[in-house]
Structure 1
Amino acid sequence: MGGAARAGAARTEALRRLAIGTLEANWEHDHTVPSRTLYPHQWSWDSAFIAVGLAHVRPDRAWRELRSLFAAQWADGRVPHIVFHPALPVGSYFPGPQFWASTVADGAPAVATSGIVQPPVHAPAAWLVHRRAPSEASVRQLRRLYPRLVAQQRYLTTRRDLGGGGLACLVHPWESGLDNSPAWDAPLAAVPADLAVMRAYRRHDTAQAAVAHRPTDLDYARYVALVGSYRRRAYVDADLTDRHPFLVECPLFNAALGAAEHALARIADVVGADPGPHRDRAARITRAVVDRLYDPVTGAFHPRDLRTGRLLPVRTVLGLLPLILPDLPPRQVDAVLAEACSPRFGLAARMARPLPSHDRTAPDFEPVRYWRGPAWLNIAWLLWQGLRLHRRPDLAAGLRESMVSTVATGGCHEYFHPDTSAGLGSAAFSGTAALLLDALAEE
């Protein structure tokens, strides 16, 4: 083995140890907290990403991660974006269980949760956990999870199809996973907000990270107002179009919805169910994503604001994620690749900088503020999956090396400076560690 090869092997082993140590330190009985500082509870899409990484080292924990999350599923099928740890003291996190008051809703679980959801990346995660470590035990786990995953999809494709076009609608920016993205600025501006309301709460995020790195108090006042609007309706989705001030169809969320149906078709094959309905729904969702969210003028995907009926013109990383749909038509595949490889995002076979979360060339690009510029490993990982699906090994290899190099420079942080790879947000972040393990496994 030559010197370069030895150095590469040593880097891989050091990063692997860092990732495993991070996940071990954040394990909490039956789930993994995203971080011990800012995120002390269980988060929905984080748990899916964490399960993908755990499959390489502790598949038993990967399945427990998913089971514990779905144990908090609501009767209507929704999987809440936060499941609160009952042992933590009141006030240890904002917005906490008292703020969400999930018990006001019929069909909420006994454990306290939030009332909103996150992108449905769980079925693909379950499939990957099985594929990474297939066994009779993993088939049993798939069989156990399958009806819950189906119920999650049913909720999103029926009760959340508020626009009537076959796509799920977000009722809060937090549901997108990209909480503070510039994509939401225009619809959020229409949300009535009283800054005085924030005096009643203590934000924990600004105690853990620089104020300049986090959403503003005005952003938070609007987030709080949106939760209040939904909570007053006991988290019932019927008639939201008449009353709720934020209703948006998101490219990432709905691409995840379609990808989940493809994963469920594979799972159905394994557990003895009929994969046909899943394939049919997947095809319908992909058509709806193209019909409703693709703009042939810009050659890009954009969120649709149901309040105005218009596509939101901001170009963020959200517009790249329909690439995770395996049946995305060639024209749109080419358009996404052109957007990703443009100076806005800088995807290349040899990347000089990490993939940003927002258009680098935009005047409102902020390299250190939450989701308004920084690089995130989970978004890069999703795009990496899409590049492999659509047979672009050159670009996939470049993005994978960028992911690994970013963590080698910045550590297992929550997110990273999009120019320097310096770590930002929470340190020892589980989602980053887990997806790093998955990327390293491809060497």
Structure 2
Amino acid sequence: MLTLDLVERPFTDRGSRLLVMARSDGLWIARAAYETELAETTVLTGLRIHGSSGEELPVTAASPTEVTFAGGVSLMFADPDTLVLAGSDARATWTTAVGESCALDLDGCHVLIGPAGGSWLEAEVRSAAEERWRLWADRLPPVRADLRERALMAWWTLHVNLLSIDGSEGVVPSKYGYVGLWNWDSVFHALALRHADPDLARAQLDAFLNHQLPDGQLPDVVHDRGVLAETSDLPRSDHERLAQHVGSARGAGLPTAPLPVPVTKPPLMAWAVWKIHQVSPDRAYLARVYPKLVAAQRWWFTGSDPDGDGLPEYLHPYSSGLDDSPVWDFGSSGALPCLASYLVVQYHCLAEIALALDFADQAAVWRAEATDLLARFIRLRWSGTRFTTVVGGRPVPVRTPMELMPLFTGRLPAEIAQRLHADLLSPEFWADRPVPTVAFTDPAFEPEAMWRGPVWLNVNYLLIEGLSRSGFPEAAADLRERTLSMVRDGGGLYEYWNPLTGRRAGRATPGFGWSSALFVDLACSAEAAP
């Protein structure tokens, strides 16, 4: 049975913005909101339960269905907006967000938070909560016995991170501030959901395809108040943080462009659509999204290639997904080797989709485009020993696994693929818990700092697939096993991990969506492996 610690794993429910957490003065309840600290959305604090003699009744357990106190008192979700306390001969006390002291005598099932006047029966509320969780838990795909406990935690995380955003249900990265749908995250969330609910997996992608801009660009974020698709949409706090960080090494600073800069995420949408289709074919869906995927692919070459060399660039650090990578210390836009790699794979996925739709001529065009792009990328960026990262028009010295990401294409010349494979398995990137987001040997390596050293599961996941595509199955299996072991033994589902300790790094957010999703998907592939 999954237990919640009410710290990293709060008591919450699918569709609910409410989080119940433990503090020294009792339970604390806050409401999750986009780009807002929970301290700013406090609903109540100091929730305590007292027995008939005035003694405090401590929390004895917390599960996905209820928080239980000594004396038979329970806290449960009657619906996403309604928390109830159930019990008898007890008294609840708390303080509201405005400092008002409140009390409630328990002699049945009472609304603590939610619409006034509700009538709830304890047995019915508990039964409904248990059924909601059971129906979801039973859909966890098969995983090895040693991975099941962490996989169940990951599956619960995906369950409770499902919220209504812009009128559709999507997995938010975390209810700790990340309350919206991020483009890259939603792609990875869909990979796990495809095993249990392909329609829900497709809905994660539709959230962005349905908000595609007229020129083909896909937005970065879909949130309660709209979308984030350019720098003018960024919250003020993001501008301030980037001004302190980006370009710091060379004094480049943020661009002072007269027009807003597009903000998106790396192009993996067609790849995700095709992976879902392979598990659950839906030709009608392919027909509906194919034109959108084509437009999104073309946008990178028409709207994100400022020097016209045929190798698109990330025009903003956020578009890379690698927000705080030290490569951005050298400027605020650039071409990382991962981008061309993703675009090559996207072309091949478009070809597969075109063939499924009986568009053989278009499939041939996409395959030719993929071949041309890969050849151009090798000609312009392969130094003979590594793929170069170009930021601000100049190669940068920082070594990151993004220069290994061309393995993801599965179509490199053998000698180049062998060199990248050797680099990955060298002391620069390989250890008990690979792969650091900056090489272990690089002066910029910081094991606790976001994107400056910690392990991120999406990077490992893409490299695992890349190793398999490129003919290195043993290395792929080894990296998968090391990644699964790190998460299994590391204490939780974090945003990122310290590669030296295998524990939560720095300010990494707990209960993180894509870490949960990719752990489940990798655990599924480990179960299926011979």
Partner residue in 1 for 2:523: 440
The aligned residue for residue 224 of structure 1 is none
Aligned letter for 2:442? A
Find the counterpart in structure 2 of residue 430 from structure 1: 513
The structure whose residues are more often strand, as a share, is 2
**Contact 2:411–2:470 (8 Å) recurs in 1:** no
Question: Equivalent residue of 1:28, what SS?
Answer: strand
Q: Structure 1: how far apart are the matches of 2:272 and 2:261?
A: 22
Of 155, 167, 172, which residue of structure 2 is paired with 1:20?
155
Q: Which residue of 2 aligns with 1:184?
A: 328
User: Quick check: 1:54 aligned with 2:54?
Assistant: no
Alignment equivalent of 2:433, drawn from 343, 353, 365: 353
**Which residue of the partner structure matches residue 236 of structure 1?**
none
Question: 1:265 aligns to what?
Answer: 351
Distance 2:189 2:401 in 1: 21
Q: Are residues 1:86 and 2:228 paired?
A: no
Task: Specify the code of the residue in structure 1 equivalent to 2:424.
Answer: A
Q: Aligned pairs, how many?
A: 350
Match of 1:171 among 315, 321, 327: 315
Task: Look up the equivalent residue of 2:382 and give its one-letter code.
Answer: Y
1:354 Cα offset (Å): 2.7
Q: Secondary structure in 2 aligned to 1:13?
A: helix
Shift of 1:323: 0.7
- TM-score, length of structure 1 as denominator length: 0.75
Tell me by how many angstroms 1:247 deviates: 3.5
Map 1:36-435 onto structure 2 (within 5 A).
36-86=175-225, 95-96=234-235, 115-134=262-281, 138-187=282-331, 246-273=332-359, 274-296=362-384, 299-305=385-391, 307-308=392-393, 310-346=394-430, 352-410=432-490, 411-424=492-505, 425-435=508-518
**8 Å CA contact retained: 1:81, 1:114:** no
Q: CA deviation at 1:99?
A: 8.4
SS of the residue 1:421 aligns to: coil
Partner Cα separation in structure 2 for residue 164 and residue 391 of structure 1: 33
CA distance in 1, matches of 2:304, 2:463: 25
Q: Is the 8 A contact 1:415 1:423 kept in 2?
A: yes
Residue type of the partner of 2:433? R
Distance 1:256 1:14 in 2: 33
Aligned mates of 2:523, 2:301 — CA distance in 1: 35
Gapped regions of structure 1 (runs ≥ 5): 1-7, 89-93, 101-112, 188-245
Separation in 1 of the partners of 2:286 and 2:519?
24
Q: Give per-residue Cα distances to partners, 1:261-317, cap 9 Å, x unaligned.
A: 111111111122220111111112211221222211xx1112123x44x32222111
Q: Is the 8 A contact 2:207 2:222 kept in 1?
A: no
Q: How many Å apart are 1:165 and its aligned residue?
A: 1.8
**Gapped regions of structure 2 (runs ≥ 5):** 1-142, 228-232, 240-259
> RMSD across aligned C-alpha pairs, in angstroms?
2.2
Q: Which amino acid aligns with 2:371?
A: A
In structure 2, distance between residues paired with 1:143 and 1:87: 27
Report if aligned partners of 1:375, 1:417 keep a CA contact under 8 Å in 2. Answer: yes
Helix, strand or coil for the counterpart of 1:31?
strand
Counterpart-to-counterpart distance in 2, 1:335 and 1:173? 28
Instruction: Say if 1:323 and 1:387, in contact at 8 Å, map to a contact too.
Output: yes
One-letter amino acid of the counterpart of residue 364, structure 2: G
Shift of 1:144: 1.4
* Identity percentage of aligned residues: 34
CA contact (8 A) 1:157 1:166 kept: yes
Residues 44 and 318 from structure 1, CA distance in 2 versus in 1: closer, same or farther, beyond 3 angstroms? same
Mark the structure with the bigger radius of gyration. 2
CA spacing shift, 1:176–1:99, aligned 2, 3 Å? closer
Residue pair 1:413, 1:423 contacting (<8 A) in 2 also = yes
Contact 1:79 1:152 in 2 (8 A): yes
C-alpha offsets along residues 55-83 of structure 1, whole Å, 9 cap, x if unaligned? 11221110111111211111100011111
The one-letter amino acid of 1:324's match is F
Between the aligned partners of 1:57 and 1:406, the Cα distance in structure 2 is: 25
Q: Distance in 2 between matches of 1:87 and 1:155?
A: 21
Residue 49 of structure 1 and its aligned partner are, at CA, apart by 0.8
User: Which of the pair is proportionally richer in helix?
Assistant: 1
